[in-house]
Structure formats: C-alpha cells, structure tokens
C-alpha cells in the first residue's frame, strides 16, 4: 500500500488529482468554521459543551459533517442534496417521465442531476428554517439564546433572511466543492466532504475519553473504544463487501455474419444495498416526536393533567441514557430504533432493486438464470434472494445503530457509567460512511494505477 501511494505521487496526473482533493477538503473545513450571521456563538458553544449528548444536535451534526457544533454556514452540509437525490430515487419508478430519463443513459442521468439541483434549493431553504427551529426546541431557554434576531417580526425579517440565505449558500458551496472533487480529484466528492467532517471530530472526541475523572473508568472506556472500533470496522468491511452472485447464462447470438457463443457470468447482489440511509431515516423519525411533544408540555401546576404527563413522557423519550434510571423508556427507545432501522432497510433495498430492473435487463440482453424461467419467475426469484440476504444486512445495520445503547447497558452492569462514551467517539453510521468512502477511494486510485501497470491496494 505504501509503495502504491508512492507510485501514485510519482505520476504527475495522479499527484495533481490527490493534491487537488486535499486542497478542496481543506477549503471546505476552513469555511465550516465560519459562523452564520447573527448567532451568539459563545452561548451556543457553552450549550454544546454542557449537553454533548443532545440527540437533536448529534443527529444534525452527523448530517452536516461536524459543522453544527460550530453553527457555521455549512451547518446543513450536503444533506439537502442527499434528500433531493433520495426523493428522485423514490419517485423514478412512479413517474414515467423520470423512468424514461433513467433509461436514456448518460444524457438522461445528466437531466436527472439537473432536476435534483433544482429541488435542492427550495429544500435547503425549508431545511435551514426547520433546522434552526429544531435547535431552538432543544435549547432550555429557547432559540432567543443563540439567535436573538431570528423571527417573523418586522425588525427581524432582514436578519432572519440573512441567516437563512447564508446557510443555503453554504450548502450550495459544499455541493459545488463536491462536484469539483468528483470531476478533477479522486473519489466521490459529496461522500468525501461528509467523510472529512466525521474524521475531523475523531481527535476531539478521543481526547474527551482521556478527560474522564475516574482512572478505572477512563482505562475501561478507552479500551472499549479501541476494541469496539476495530471490531465494528472489521464487520462493516465484511458486510459491505459481501455479495450473493446469481449465475447468468447468455444464449448464442447472431449479429450479421458473426455468431457469439453463449457466455456465463453473474449478477452481484450486495448484502447491504441501502448503506446507512435507513439509520438516517430512523433517527429522523425518533427525533421529531419528542420535539413536537414539547409544544404540549404545560407548566408544573398542570402535572395532574393526563395529556400533560403523556407529552412529558414523549418529550423525554430517548433522553434517558442510563438503563438503571428508567429501564422501560431506555429499552423501548433502543428496541424501537432497532426495528425502524430493520424496516427501513427492507423498504429502501426493495426500491433500489426494483429501479435496477434486473429481470427485464437480462431478458432484453438474451440472458437467463439457469433453472429459472425469464420474466415473472426470474423477478420472483431475485426478490426472494434479495430479501434473504437483506435480513443479514438489516440486522447488521440495526446492531450498528444501537451500539451506544448496548454499551450503556454493559456499563450499567459493570458499574462504569462512562462506557457509553466509547460508542460516541465515532458513531456506527459515521463508521459506515468512513469505511465506505475509504474503500471507494482506494478502488478508484487502484483503477488509475492499474491503467499504468502498477500493483494496486486491493488484490
């Protein structure tokens, strides 16, 4: 691997691509430290330092690649673009025009990308307002603490518009940087931007483990972090690279005067087709109900009201980190989280596989699965295989998602309360992104090296 990196830097074109990628990531990280106009950064940093386990802030921080902690103009990251892409993916089988564009090759994909950009802009405006409101709901003193001039009053409109436009501009700048990296650098630019944000938080989060006061707890937590990270990365690599190969046979074809003999190949079906999208969906669903319930929480004098008690229970759902304090709420939250991730994995995988249209593609190219009739039988067979292997991927994603809860439970049994912090240095979803981006970038670099007869990273 070291020899391959040296060989890559020895080639002028590859060296330029790698240095350009690093330069653009540095630019992105510098801009990610510019706060939005009108924010009280001192109050915000004080809140995040005291309440580092806030579910809303952690969720938004993951999506932005770490920019929410600074409340920067990049606080939304590239998530509006990802949301727009997911919407287009889900609508493609439903809308005939989009389905036709998807089948037109590169020209159709370019048109779909243009539509995705058009959808991203209004989504970014809506998400900027929604994200600020979400953060305001999570603050004990309300949004006025950090954005005193944000609102709909006549004297607040200009300040509000400035804040929202700055966040939307930051998102579009991040997308532009990602596209530049994809075109002129190495790897997928959007993924590398998210990757850079996650990696930038590793050192500060690791340093927090060494700040644990109790020596015994500190040693156990650091040891748990090392073991958990190594084991999780190993499992992620195995599952992400795992695939079921369905054999395909092509019949003899005659084109002009040439006769092409039948060939044997396979269709690779990945164990985890959905990536970490189901975890994002599940986190979003678990985050919104407690925030909405806060609207209905009354003052202390109305504790006897049954509706007020229900609202208080929902608003605190997921905030219990110690299974010994409220075991029912703790296990309900993590169990529901696991089930949501599993369910969304099956749903998203079905959508993605249907978009690939494998049975029709095989039939059009004269291919068939040995022992399976083309058409409906082939579609039913592929669906059954996908759902069987998706069960493994769904359980894997579910366990990755609830790792903090598992560590909190083990910490309660061993009487080491800080053990849960070992799972928050890099979350499971963050590790999936990091490992996936590293593998994808290594393969792209390998393909460039193999074109020049160099030995690559992956044998």
- Right CATH for 1-201 from 1.10.3370.10, 1.20.140.10, 3.30.56.10, 3.30.1330.30: 1.10.3370.10
* pLDDT, mean of residues 326-351: 84
Axis crossing angle, helix 106-138 with helix 157-184, rounded to the nearest 10: 140
| CA gap 107, 113 in Å, rounded | 10
Confidence of residue 212 (pLDDT cuts 50, 70, 90): confident
Asked if residue 222 has pLDDT above 80, the reply is yes
CA 352 to each of CA 110, 116, 278, 346, 388: distance values in angstroms, whole numbers, following the listed order: 19, 17, 13, 10, 15
Q: How does pLDDT run across 264-295, given as a tens digit for each residue?
A: 777 888 888 877 778 877 877 776 666 666 65
**Global confidence as pTM:** 0.76
Using DSSP, how many helices (H) and how many strands (E) does the chain show? Answer: 18, 5
Identical topology for domains 1-201 and 214-425: yes
- Give, as one character, the DSSP assignment of residue 267: E
Q: How does pLDDT run across 85-114, given as a tens digit for each residue?
A: 878 877 877 788 877 887 777 788 788 888
> Count of residues for the chain?
459
**Predicted local distance difference test score (pLDDT) of residue 334:** 85
Asked if residue 122 has pLDDT above 70, the reply is yes
Asked if residue 123 has pLDDT above 80, the reply is yes
**Predicted local distance difference test score (pLDDT) of residue 300:** 44
Residue with tokens 């330029």: 16
Distance between alpha carbon 19 and the CA centroid of its chain, in Å? 26
Q: Give me the sign of the Cα torsion angle 90, 94, 96, 97.
A: negative
**Which class would CATH give 214-425?**
mainly alpha
Asked if residue 1 has pLDDT above 80, the reply is no
Would you state the torsion angle of the CA atoms of residues 388, 392, 393, 397, taken in this order, to the nearest 10 degrees?
140
**Predicted local distance difference test score (pLDDT) of residue 456:** 46
- Give, as one character, the DSSP assignment of residue 330: H
pLDDT-above-90 percentage for the chain: 1
Q: Which of 162, 180, 165, 176 is nearest to 124 (CA)?
A: 165
Domain boundaries defined on the chain: 1-201, 214-425
Asked if residue 298 has pLDDT above 70, the reply is no
121 or 330, greater pLDDT? 121
| CA gap 369, 385 in Å, rounded | 13
Confidence of residue 301 (pLDDT cuts 50, 70, 90): very low
Asked if residue 64 has pLDDT above 80, the reply is no
């Amino acid at each position: 691997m070291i020899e391959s990196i040296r060989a890559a830097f020895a080639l002028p074109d590859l060296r330029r691509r790698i240095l350009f990628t690093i330069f653009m990531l540095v630019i992105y990280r510098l801009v990610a430290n510019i706060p939005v106009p009108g924010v009280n950064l001192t109050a915000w940093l004080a809140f995040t330092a005291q309440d580092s386990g806030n579910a809303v802030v952690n969720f938004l921080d993951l999506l932005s690649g770490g920019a929410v902690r600074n409340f920067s103009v990049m606080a939304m990251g590239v998530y509006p673009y990802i949301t727009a892409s997911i919407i287009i993916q889900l609508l493609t089988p439903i809308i005939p025009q989009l389905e036709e564009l998807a089948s037109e090759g590169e020209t159709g994909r370019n048109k779909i990308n243009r539509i995705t950009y058009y959808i991203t802009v209004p989504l970014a405006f809506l998400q900027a307002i929604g994200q600020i409101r979400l953060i305001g709901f999570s603050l004990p003193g309300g949004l006025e603490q950090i954005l005193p001039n944000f609102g709909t009053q006549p004297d607040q409109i200009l300040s509000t518009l400035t804040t929202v436009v700055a966040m939307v501009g930051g998102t579009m700048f991040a997308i532009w940087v990602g596209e530049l990296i994809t075109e002129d650098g190495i790897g997928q630019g959007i993924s590398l931007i998210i990757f850079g944000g996650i990696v930038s938080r590793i050192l500060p989060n690791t340093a927090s483990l060494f700040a644990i006061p109790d020596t015994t707890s500190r040693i156990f937590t650091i040891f748990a972090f090392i073991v958990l990270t190594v084991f999780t990365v190993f499992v992620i690599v195995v599952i992400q690279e795992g695939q079921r190969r369905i054999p395909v046979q092509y019949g003899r074809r005659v084109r002009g005067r040439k006769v092409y003999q039948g060939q044997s190949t396979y269709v690779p079906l990945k164990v985890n087709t959905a990536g970490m999208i189901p975890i994002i969906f599940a986190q979003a669903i678990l985050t919104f109900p407690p925030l909405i319930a806060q609207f209905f929480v009354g003052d202390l004098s109305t504790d006897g009201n049954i509706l007020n008690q229900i609202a208080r229970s929902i608003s605190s759902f997921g905030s219990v980190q110690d299974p010994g304090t409220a075991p029912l709420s703790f296990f309900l939250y993590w169990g529901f989280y696991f089930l949501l991730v599993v369910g969304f994995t099956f749903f998203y995988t079905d959508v993605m596989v249907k978009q690939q249209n494998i049975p029709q593609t095989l039939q059009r190219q004269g291919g068939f699965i040995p022992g399976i009739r083309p058409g409906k039988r082939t579609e039913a067979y592929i669906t059954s295989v996908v759902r069987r292997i998706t069960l493994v991927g769904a359980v894997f994603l579910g366990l990755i998602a609830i790792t903090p809860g598992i560590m909190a439970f083990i910490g309660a049994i061993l009487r080491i309360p800080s053990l849960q912090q070992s799972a928050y240095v890099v979350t499971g979803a963050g590790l999936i992104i990091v490992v996936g981006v590293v593998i994808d970038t290594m393969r792209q670099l390998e393909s460039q090296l193999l074109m020049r007869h160099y030995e690559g990273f992956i044998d």
